[in-house]
Chains A and B, each alone.
Chain A
Amino acid sequence: MPISWTRKDLLGLEELSKEELELILTTAESFKEISTREIKKVPALRGRTVVNLFYEPSTRTRISFEVAAKRLSADMITIAVETSSVRKGETLVDTGRNIQALKADIVVLRHNSSGAAQLLARHLDISVVNAGDGWHEHPTQALLDIFTLKEKIGKIQGLNVAIVGDIAHSRVARSNIWGLTKLGAKVIVCAPRMLIPPGIEQTGVSVTHDIDEALYNADAVNVLRMQFERDEGAAFPTHIEYFQNFGITKERIAKLKKKILVMHPGPLNRGIEISSEVADGLNSVILEQVTNGIAVRMAVLFLVSQGHDKKYENTDKKRPGR
């Protein structure tokens, strides 16, 4: 049964229902065709203003949102931290209020602090779309991953999906876990023990530290980017150690009985978490993910612009500040 979208924000997939997830995916399906036209533009958000507010360096997510907004005919402004008054000590909330005062309609926020999108959303009346907050969630990335899976395999229900890499510090992993499990997929996460966060199995996933076990029965593997600059990286003396034990290689893929789709949120570390042969090989859908990102983000921008609930009003008492 079709439902209508009521949320003003998209902060994460954890709080969404299965029906809401499906609504985003079907909306994205209808938007995908637009990008194949000669004139890649519809007037759905004409006259609306979307602001990209990015506190972390990002190329693909930022550009993907820009393209998505423009294909919906919205006006798009990008604020990168280095060029704004944020450097002068302005708080996130004050920056958000200023954007609201400019009569923008949607803020797309990328921030290095988990919960930043929640903070902004409860202070603003305009829509907030989370483009990644700390280690918490990156909902549009997971949505485009799921969209790609569904497009390639035809369904999500019953699929086996492996997520490999730094689960502890990955917002992509968390959003994928919520989205996939709500839609009926079975998720197995795979990482060295130190990169598995406590209690992760309570989110409905199984856990392994053996890459071959993770891949054995998987319809798809989502390979996370390894970030060795983290302090936990000190425990990996060389990138080779990680690659040998957890890297997705041609040999590992060749051993499998069924075809596996290989996904990666980018940017790739070739030869660290994935070999070039696999990244560029027949199993890889990495570039299709990028294409699908546009449709998914168009859907999200379109839906939140229709959503008007003030879900935070009722819980004001529980919250700090105001």
Chain B
Amino acid sequence: MKILIKNGLVVDPANKLNEISDILVEDFKISKIAKNLKVQADQIVDATEKIVMPGLVDMHVHLREPGREDKETISTGTSAALKGGVTSVLAMPNTHPAIDSKEAMGLLKDIIKKTAHTNVFISATITKGRQGQALADIPMFKKQGAVAISDDGSSVDTEDLFLKALKKAKDTDILTICHCEDKGLSRNGVINLGVVSTRLGLRGVSRESEYKRVERDIRLAAKVGARIHIAHVSCLESVDIIARARQKGIKVTAETAPHYFALTEEEVLDYNTNMKVNPPLRTKKDAEAIKEGLRKGIIDVIASDHAPHTDNEKDIEFERAEFGTIGLETLLAVSITELVDKRILDWTELVKKLALNPAQILGIDKGTIRAAKTADLIVVSPDREWLVDKDSIRSKSRNSAFLGRKLKGIVEYTILGGEIVYAASK
């Protein structure tokens, strides 16, 4: 089986590629990248005026299985991923049961093997049941194939316990992903604390609740020399703190999600619960700081924080509604619309944020197009516009913060393991 992708702009920062080339995929691997390839192929993809890039690596995804298959399954979530050009996801462990034991990992790996449509990597928990009380068996997770640990959804509040976790993670050489939220400060807040929470009469989440915990986690990581990754950065102060830590040579990486640079707290003004996310949408200043952080490379990764919820959990009173937006299908298009189109990132930088950097941070052999490597790549029409509407959503849940928006950039083909597994309708 040979697939010839002709005439696309090939963007692959790992190999410093940014030129019009042909790519030949043969026997599920990339066999040639060169101009004007003259070969016979079973299938020819005309990529003229399109961009060919590595399959995206989304390192923050809630697939909800096992336990909440009414929201999403590994099958439906990874199918949505393909439409979004995502070929590798990191599954977050806040499932039911949480991925905090060998048995739970075994169960999850089994479901992945049977039903996943993309590569699925696993983050296990830091503590048992994500309760922040007792550490889980972190070395076992690594042996079982987990590439990260995280209590995502919660921070490990007890400083001493988190310090021990980082020591164990360092011994094990596994990445710790930090959900930075001091719940003593965020209390029961539902949106950013400020004039919008005042106008709406909703409980606010202070900025301190995030950045004070970013500060703490970085301080502890520096003490141990462990690698940490700050999830879903939403505010200006966090960006500054991470920048300063990096200058000091501390091993910290960071991610943000598209809604934190594309949207602000003003979106909540009509009590739209799809805009209820954790951490909350912040101000215009914060969104600008996030973009600047991405431009300067202080924020390494854009991840979706894909968080599916059913209508029953979203179309209710704002305070009672669940936190989160789905994002796998809009990750790339929002990034193109808000960052590339507005000249904040060029294509090379975008591919770093969406593929190469997360792969390197997780230590997985993905995020690049390279000869002889298993071919995970996507063909993107950068200028094609589309409307995010409920009927177009592949995810089992439809709680997108971007519903009703026009976005630029359509994934025309997703090639996973050398096979075309998704093709957009014309």
Footprint of B on A, CB under 8 Å?
A: 14, 91-93, 111, 113-116, 118-119, 133-137, 168, 171, 174, 197-200, 202-203, 315, 317-322
Q: At the interface, is chain B mostly helix, strand, loop or mixed? A: loop
Of the candidates B201, B317, B319, B389, the one whose C-beta lies within 8 Å of that of A174 is B201
Of the candidates A113, A168, A174, A315, the one whose C-beta lies within 8 Å of that of B320 is A113
Query: Which residues from chain A contact B274 at a C-beta distance below 8 Å?
Result: 320
Say how far B315's CB is from chain A's closest CB, in angstroms. 3
Docked Cα-Cα span, A91 to B321, in Å, equals: 12
Q: Is A113's CB under 8 angstroms from B389's CB?
A: no
Docked Cα-Cα span, A118 to B314, in Å, equals: 14
Of the candidates B194, B270, B273, B318, the one whose C-beta lies within 8 Å of that of A199 is B194
Number of A-B contacts (CB under 8 A): 87
Interface: B426 (CB within 8 A): no
Query: Which residues from chain B contact A320 at a C-beta distance below 8 Å?
Result: 272-274, 311, 314-315, 399, 403
Query: Which residues from chain B contact A135 at a C-beta distance below 8 Å?
Result: 201-202
Q: Is A171's CB under 8 angstroms from B311's CB?
A: no
Known: A171-B201, A318-B404. Is A115-B317 also a contact (CB below 8 A)?
yes
Q: Is A92's CB under 8 angstroms from B201's CB?
A: no
Known: A115-B271, A320-B272. Is A134-B195 also a contact (CB below 8 A)?
no
**Contact code string B199-222 (vs A, CB < 8 Å = 1, else 0):** 111101000000000000000000
Name which residue of chain A comes closest to B268, CB basis: A115
- Selected A-B contacts with CB under 8 Å, 8 pairs: A93-B316, A115-B318, A133-B201, A137-B201, A198-B204, A199-B196, A199-B198, A321-B314
Q: Is A202's CB under 8 angstroms from B201's CB?
A: no
Question: What is the size category of the interface that chain B forms with chain A?
Answer: 20 to 34
Of the candidates A93, A111, A116, A203, the one whose C-beta lies within 8 Å of that of B199 is A203
Which 7 pairs of residues, A with B, have the shortest CB-CB distance? A199-B195, A321-B315, A317-B404, A135-B201, A136-B201, A115-B271, A113-B317
Interface: B30 (CB within 8 A): no
Q: Is B399's CB under 8 angstroms from A114's CB?
A: no
Docked Cα-Cα span, A319 to B319, in Å, equals: 16
Interface: B193 (CB within 8 A): yes
Q: Is A113's CB under 8 angstroms from B315's CB?
A: no
Known: A198-B193, A318-B404, A320-B311. Is A203-B198 also a contact (CB below 8 A)?
yes
Name which residue of chain A comes closest to B267, CB basis: A318
Of the candidates A92, A119, A174, the one whose C-beta lies within 8 Å of that of B271 is A119
Docked Cα-Cα span, A14 to B198, in Å, equals: 12
Docked Cα-Cα span, A243 to B202, in Å, equals: 27
| A93, A114, A135, A168, most chain B CB atoms within 10 A | A114
Query: Which residues from chain A contact B195 at a C-beta distance below 8 Å?
Result: 198-200, 202-203
